[in-house]
Structure 1
Amino acid sequence: METTEIGRRDFLKTVGALGSSGLLLTAFPWLQSFAADNQKALKGEKAKLAIIGTGSRGMYHINNLLNTRQAEIVALCDIYKPHLDQAAALCPKAKKYSDYREVLASPDVQGIIIACPLHEHAPIAIAGMKAGKHVFSEKSMARTLDQCKEMYDVYKQTGQVLYIGQQRLFDKKYIKALEMVHNGTIGEVVGLRNFWFRNNDWRRPVPEPSLERQINWRLYKEYSGGLMTELATHQLQIGTWALKSIPDYIMGSGDITFWKDGREVYDNVNVIYHYPNGVKMTFESIISNKKYGMDEQILGHKGTLELAKGKYFFEEVKPAPGIQQLINQIEHKVFDQVSFAGPSWVPETASEDNGEFIVDKVKTHDGSNTTGAAGDGSEELVASFCDSVITGKPIPVLVEEAYYSSVLALLGLKAMEERSIIEFPEEYKIPYLNHA
């Protein structure tokens, strides 16, 4: 996979070229970590970090950190030795641990990156902040609603930096797309659609039976919320980000229909989030068919954004060439003459407009320009965390965005499990934008 090589100044320049960087900093406060004001404080310094959880996601973060050159990885921690040894090969100077509490006791560690199974996120993050460490935790925020709230409360109480692995908040095409939403480019938002389709069983090979739940933790309710906490949490943040509000009620359905292999979590889900203004946001996921892939779509009365594809479409497209207009008129005339028990009927067909790219060009590591949606914000996210560890400055709104995406995922799961309509519980509401 090619990674985008964009520094803090280049990042703002790239996005700012599409609109006022001052406006972007106001609209997306987490970008302040890239601002030039921090450069003196950051010059020559590196964040001293520990990686807790060195499986596939932990290794991904290690590689991104090595690319940014803004971190010194001083400690590695994992209870599974093969993963620990794999990470140590990339970070030979880092101390190795099997107990995260020893990591938190180390004076050499400024910040921790948590890439463990979901049920461990909150306990380690809470202990880390109370120990005076800055914390980056993978999404979802926590396994339960109460853990999410406790994690948020400790963040507010301690004043420590807290990041959650919602890389879309640092993805150039998403940032520009949401600016287009907020400045009215696509008109009034009338619907949001999220879907994630894949075709694999999510199961990993197990060297011995005793490791089944440790390795395949995503398949068991004790450790995971399945598709909602592993996939939906990425996409559900679009609702809060776009509408600046939270749903008033949620409904959904989930089942195990194909992968009947002893797993406890659903292999297909459908959820509807109803907002006070009548707009609905949907999430759908099936993991036994990959035809339609994944995307987040924001529908406005003037246009549509396809965020994962990095494209936008307007409702009123450019006029077709003369011959095409003639063909369309003939086709409509034919259908207009056919009566279907009332007014004449014209087929409603999807637009064939190819759309435009939200971000036209992004420079890749080899210096070339690539069109469209390069990079996903992951490297910018860990670079920003390094900045925050060095400066000690939390990023406003970033935690609140991640909190609500996790809570919405868990409320959707609750609605499915209880087969009921769930009102958004008052006890899990936190101050954020216009619903303080």
Structure 2
Amino acid sequence: MEITKRNRREFLKEMSIYAGSTAFLASIPWINAFAQENGKNIAPSDRVRLGIVGVGSRGHGLLLNLLAIENVDVVAVCDNYQPMYERAIKTTNGKAKAFYDYRKMLDEFSDLDGVIIATPLHEHAHITIDFLNAGIHVFCEKSMARTIEDAKQMVDTSVQTGRILQIGQQRLFNPVYLDALERIRQGEIGQLTQVRAFWHRNNDWRRPIPGPELERKINWRMYREYSGGLMTELATHQIQVANWFIDQVPTQVVGSGSICFWKDGREVYDQVALVYDYPNGVKCIYDSMIANKHYGLEEQIMGNLGTIEPEANRIYSENPPSAPGIRQLVYNIESGIFDVIPIGGATWLPEVAGTDPGKMIKSYDNNDTYLQLVGFTKAIRTGKPYPNLLREGFHATVAALLGLQAMDTNAVVTWPAEYVMKKE
């Protein structure tokens, strides 16, 4: 999506509206802090100097967004794969110095304000920790790390050094999701009873390679040493939404995974199905696959009075008002609601899907990747992390990795108490 000045103005306006909702902002304090920073004058000389490590597919997208943020200079880029290295130089018009080794970048640019880390998953932890220990604020893509222990060490290092660690869970800055959450907090869909989430694609997830020696370097997502597959690449986004909207972390998870379709030597599942239990009895039912894309992706947040689907930007009522007379009759006929019941046959009709066409949650054109990066640069200027933002990223990573463990062991896996971060 093109990033325009209108996008920025509209989002600043949104934040001022949210700032007037005290009860709502209490549940998402990072937006409260974000809103309070808006409207402050920033001198042209007050620039944030950033580096970026890892400029592959996701990293390149982040780089483009960074270049569109006012008062931000990308001064260093790093990637150890030649084509990505050269593309980054071209993208920054040669204004950023390029490196093959992040340690050399860190030695030469030890005065960076912040760094973006978008490397393969297994590299996240040690690179993040090195930059935090050097006194540099870090934005790290989700998932946080390949293991829960590494993710915990990242959190601990952020606390010990006093440096910001922000995780790339962009839905936390998405105005549609924020508005959906406010509607839930106000009781618009009643008591929240279940979250059903899914992410379906239809491709093998494999990228072309110039030679077999680069298979694991380029297709790292296929191998257990480097990736958790669907759980760490996709599920963390949606389980974060479930945790956030339910406002708790799960107590346990059970699941099943398999390599069902893409039998090409990969080590990660090509389909997964899990159930997460929460303390209040609510469940998150999650599934993901890469051999059918008909249903796409969605989080369906269900309450006894309605359902919210943030990806579709729709809210539905369990008891929508009836349409007037003949229009309702025509609609029922077209929808097949009047089934023929044979004499002596069944005297009941099966449950059918709701007929409410729903309403738009919010009319807003946004780029949440851009907005979360704006949030990171604002936090750098204050030198303070946004309250509870790291908690959301950490819990999403833990949930995904525990889900993977449940599938690998075919067992119910409980959430260890030491991996619960307290709210700020």
- Conservation of the 8 A alpha-carbon contact between 1:198 and 1:293: yes
Could you say which residue in structure 1 is the equivalent of 2:52?
51
The one of 323, 328, 335 equivalent to 2:326 is 323
Task: Summarize the alignment of residues 167-246 of structure 1 with structure 2, pairs less than 5 Å apart.
Answer: 167-246=170-249
Could you say which residue in structure 2 is the equivalent of 1:11?
11
Task: Describe the shift of the 1:323–1:127 C-alpha distance in structure 2 as closer, same or farther (beyond 3 A).
Answer: same
Aligned identity (percent) is 46
Task: Describe the shift of the 1:62–1:307 C-alpha distance in structure 2 as closer, same or farther (beyond 3 A).
Answer: same
Task: Describe the shift of the 1:48–1:355 C-alpha distance in structure 2 as closer, same or farther (beyond 3 A).
Answer: same
- Distance in 1 between residues matched to 2:194 and 2:160, nearest whole Å: 36
Summarize deviations over 1:343-375 as a string: whole Å, max 9, x none. x31231111222111112x3xxxxxxxxxxx33
Stretch deviating more after TM superposition (144-153 or 35-44): 35-44
Q: Residue type of the partner of 2:124?
A: H
Q: Residue type of the partner of 2:74?
A: I
Could you say which residue in structure 2 is the equivalent of 1:427?
418
Q: Residue type of the partner of 2:324?
A: P
Any idea what SS the aligned residue of 1:299 has? strand
- Distance in 1 between residues matched to 2:339 and 2:181, nearest whole Å: 40
Any idea what SS the aligned residue of 2:10 has? helix
- Conservation of the 8 A alpha-carbon contact between 1:219 and 1:265: yes
Task: Describe the shift of the 1:102–1:351 C-alpha distance in structure 2 as closer, same or farther (beyond 3 A).
Answer: same
Could you say which residue in structure 1 is the equivalent of 2:35?
35
Task: Summarize the alignment of residues 288-299 of structure 1 with structure 2, pairs less than 5 Å apart.
Answer: 288-299=291-302
Q: Residue type of the partner of 2:61?
A: Y
- Conservation of the 8 A alpha-carbon contact between 1:9 and 1:36: no
Could you say which residue in structure 2 is the equivalent of 1:74?
75
- Distance in 2 between residues matched to 1:394 and 1:155, nearest whole Å: 10
| Mapped pair 1:381 → 2:384 | no
- Conservation of the 8 A alpha-carbon contact between 2:24 and 2:185: no
- Distance in 1 between residues matched to 2:136 and 2:343, nearest whole Å: 73
Any idea what SS the aligned residue of 2:142 has? coil
| Mapped pair 1:270 → 2:273 | yes
Could you say which residue in structure 2 is the equivalent of 1:402?
393
- Distance in 1 between residues matched to 2:88 and 2:73, nearest whole Å: 14
Task: Describe the shift of the 1:316–1:225 C-alpha distance in structure 2 as closer, same or farther (beyond 3 A).
Answer: same
- Conservation of the 8 A alpha-carbon contact between 1:74 and 1:108: no
Higher relative contact order (CA 8 A, sep 6+): 1
Deviation at 1:42?
Answer: 3.7
Stretch deviating more after TM superposition (41-50 or 389-398): 41-50
- Distance in 2 between residues matched to 1:90 and 1:256, nearest whole Å: 38
Could you say which residue in structure 1 is the equivalent of 2:98?
96
- Conservation of the 8 A alpha-carbon contact between 1:16 and 1:24: no
Deviation at 1:103?
Answer: 2.2
- Distance in 1 between residues matched to 2:329 and 2:41, nearest whole Å: 65
The one of 132, 137, 141 equivalent to 1:138 is 141
Q: Residue type of the partner of 1:346?
A: L
Any idea what SS the aligned residue of 1:290 has? coil
Gaps of 5+ in 2: none
Q: Residue type of the partner of 2:253?
A: I
- Distance in 1 between residues matched to 2:37 and 2:70, nearest whole Å: 20
TM-score (norm: length of structure 2)? 0.93
- Distance in 1 between residues matched to 2:337 and 2:222, nearest whole Å: 51
| Mapped pair 1:162 → 2:153 | no
Deviation at 1:404?
Answer: 0.5
Q: CA RMSD in A?
A: 2.2
Task: Describe the shift of the 1:333–1:64 C-alpha distance in structure 2 as closer, same or farther (beyond 3 A).
Answer: closer
TM-score (norm: length of structure 1)? 0.90
Task: Summarize the alignment of residues 347-358 of structure 1 with structure 2, pairs less than 5 Å apart.
Answer: 347-358=350-361
- Conservation of the 8 A alpha-carbon contact between 1:42 and 1:387: no
- Distance in 1 between residues matched to 2:77 and 2:302, nearest whole Å: 44
Deviation at 1:5?
Answer: 4.3
- Conservation of the 8 A alpha-carbon contact between 1:41 and 1:391: no
- Distance in 2 between residues matched to 1:242 and 1:4, nearest whole Å: 30
Deviation at 1:332?
Answer: 6.1
Could you say which residue in structure 2 is the equivalent of 1:64?
65
- Distance in 1 between residues matched to 2:51 and 2:372, nearest whole Å: 16
Task: Describe the shift of the 1:333–1:357 C-alpha distance in structure 2 as closer, same or farther (beyond 3 A).
Answer: closer
Deviation at 1:427?
Answer: 2.4
- Distance in 2 between residues matched to 1:56 and 1:233, nearest whole Å: 18
Could you say which residue in structure 2 is the equivalent of 1:365?
none
Q: Residue type of the partner of 2:356?
A: D
Stretch deviating more after TM superposition (218-227 or 151-160): 151-160
Task: Describe the shift of the 1:321–1:133 C-alpha distance in structure 2 as closer, same or farther (beyond 3 A).
Answer: same
Task: Describe the shift of the 1:229–1:37 C-alpha distance in structure 2 as closer, same or farther (beyond 3 A).
Answer: closer
Gaps of 5+ in 1: 363-373
Could you say which residue in structure 2 is the equivalent of 1:370?
none
Summarize deviations over 1:233-270 as a string: whole Å, max 9, x none. 00001122112111111000000011111100000000
- Distance in 1 between residues matched to 2:342 and 2:181, nearest whole Å: 40
Q: Residue type of the partner of 1:34?
A: F
| Mapped pair 1:307 → 2:310 | yes
